[in-house]
């Protein structure tokens, strides 16, 4: 559902932020400051910073008109951003890197999950602890989804091959419903979205790929390169404000406020549940930082994290050898003063 900007009368703390963001009174956005943005998937807790920024009027105060559509997977979001149908999107950055290596004009301008949440989900009482324990198990996945290029690397980390497990291929929309059946032993997917959803029926824990030498940047903002040229000012404000919203939520423990903001924006969608959104947001927290990003505001990307990810992707043969970390990301569209102003955690 496309969401136009909405006016809220209660903008606690937004007045001070507006000075940093614009230094002037609000003006109507022109075409260069109107942004079409696509999410990665269904409404999820880790999407709340975008909707919090909308609800608090931060985008509007910066002269932006941000329209947000929900998505149908990171792969499709990256493709649509690359095709210029959207200026930017929230997507799994490893998927973006794969697409960019194939020539798609996309790049990462903000990284939120500096530790990737790509995981094998298993029941809490499962004997599976490591990749080697996957042998002989029935594991659910989606062909063409973000996990597919890295399955060989997962099994190799346990001294196995794909053929050592029984892989059950299903559509992305049926992944969790198939996993919770007693005939399934696990599911390859994003932990931040899926663990709380699965927990409703089958108590679940995640085994992240990153814990076994396969850390790849997770969710972040992917931008179209042509849009960066024509709407660079707007995209810089957008990425900085969204990063500031993430820092505001985490630093000030404003999870409930973020969830409430998202609920207001989806008040017509009865499938969006506040309890689930908050759980998804809480599950996201361990993936926001890596040792390399320690001390960096959420959104700022560490070069060594990207360098390590390139090694993983080269080994998995998802990208050809020879590229550099800076080929896939930039921090040039993040204004640290804006992030600091919004992200201090004060209401």
| pLDDT tens digit sequence for 300-324 | 999 999 999 999 999 888 899 999 9
- What's the pTM? 0.89
Q: Is the pLDDT of residue 145 over 60?
A: yes
29 sits in the region (left: phi over 0; alpha: psi -120 to 50; else beta) called beta
pLDDT at 8: 28
Torsion of CA 327, 328, 333, 336, to 10 degrees: -100
pLDDT interval class at 7 (50, 70, 90): very low
* Least confident among 93-97, 113-117, 144-148, 289-293: 144-148
What is the mean predicted confidence (pLDDT) over 123-148?
A: 95
Query: What single string gives the DSSP state of each residue in 184-205?
Result: --EEEEEHHHHHHHHHTTS-EE
pLDDT interval class at 149 (50, 70, 90): confident
Q: Are 155 and 165 in contact (CB under 8 A)?
A: yes
Domain 14-115+216-342 annotated CATH 3.40.190.10: yes
Q: Report domain extents, the chain.
A: 14-115+216-342, 118-212
Q: Is the pLDDT of residue 246 over 50?
A: yes
What's phi and psi for 3, nearest 5 deg?
-115, 110
What is the mean predicted confidence (pLDDT) over 46-57?
A: 97
Tell how strand 34-38 and strand 88-92 pair up. parallel
- Same fold flag, 14-115+216-342 and 118-212: yes
pLDDT at 144: 82
| pLDDT tens digit sequence for 213-227 | 999 999 999 999 999
pLDDT at 346: 60
Q: Is the pLDDT of residue 20 over 80?
A: no
Q: Is the pLDDT of residue 344 over 90?
A: no
pLDDT at 345: 60
Could you tell me how many residues make up the chain? 347
Tokens standing for residue 184: 């399934």
Domain 118-212 annotated CATH 3.40.50.300: no
Look-up of token digits 């559902």 = 1
Q: Is the pLDDT of residue 3 over 50?
A: no
């Amino acid at each position: 559902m496309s969401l136009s900007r909405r006016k809220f009368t209660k903008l606690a703390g937004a007045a001070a932020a507006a000075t940093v963001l614009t230094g002037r009174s609000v003006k109507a956005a022109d075409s260069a400051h109107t942004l079409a943005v696509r999410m990665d998937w269904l409404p999820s807790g880790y999407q709340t910073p975008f909707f919090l920024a909308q609800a608090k009027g931060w985008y509007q105060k910066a002269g932006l008109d941000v329209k947000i559509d929900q998505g149908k997977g990171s792969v499709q979001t990256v493709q649509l951003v690359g095709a210029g149908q959207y200026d930017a999107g929230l997507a799994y950055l490893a998927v973006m890197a794969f697409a960019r290596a194939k020539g798609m004009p996309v790049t990462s301008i903000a990284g939120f999950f500096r530790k990737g949440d790509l995981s094998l989900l298993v029941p809490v009482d499962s004997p599976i602890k490591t990749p080697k324990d996957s042998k002989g198990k029935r594991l659910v996945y989606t062909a063409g989804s973000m996990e597919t290029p890295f399955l060989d690397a997962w099994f190799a980390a346990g001294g196995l091959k794909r053929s050592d497990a029984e892989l059950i291929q299903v559509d992305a929309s049926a992944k969790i419903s198939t996993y919770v059946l007693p005939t399934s032993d696990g599911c390859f997917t994003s932990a931040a979205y899926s663990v709380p959803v699965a927990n409703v029926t089958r108590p679940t824990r995640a085994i992240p790929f990153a814990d076994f030498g396969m850390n790849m940047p997770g969710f972040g903002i992917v931008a179209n390169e042509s849009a960066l040229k024509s709407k660079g000012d707007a995209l810089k404000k957008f990425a900085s404000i969204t990063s500031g919203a993430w820092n505001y939520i985490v630093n000030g423990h404003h999870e409930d406020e973020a969830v409430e903001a998202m609920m207001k924006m989806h008040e017509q969608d009865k499938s969006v549940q506040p309890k689930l959104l908050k759980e998804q947001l809480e599950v996201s927290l361990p993936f926001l930082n890596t040792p390399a990003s320690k001390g960096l505001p959420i959104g700022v990307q560490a070069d060594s994290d990207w360098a390590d990810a390139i090694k993983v992707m080269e080994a998995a043969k998802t990208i050809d050898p020879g590229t550099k970390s800076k080929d896939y990301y930039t921090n040039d569209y993040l204004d640290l003063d804006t992030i600091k102003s919004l992200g201090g955690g004060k209401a």
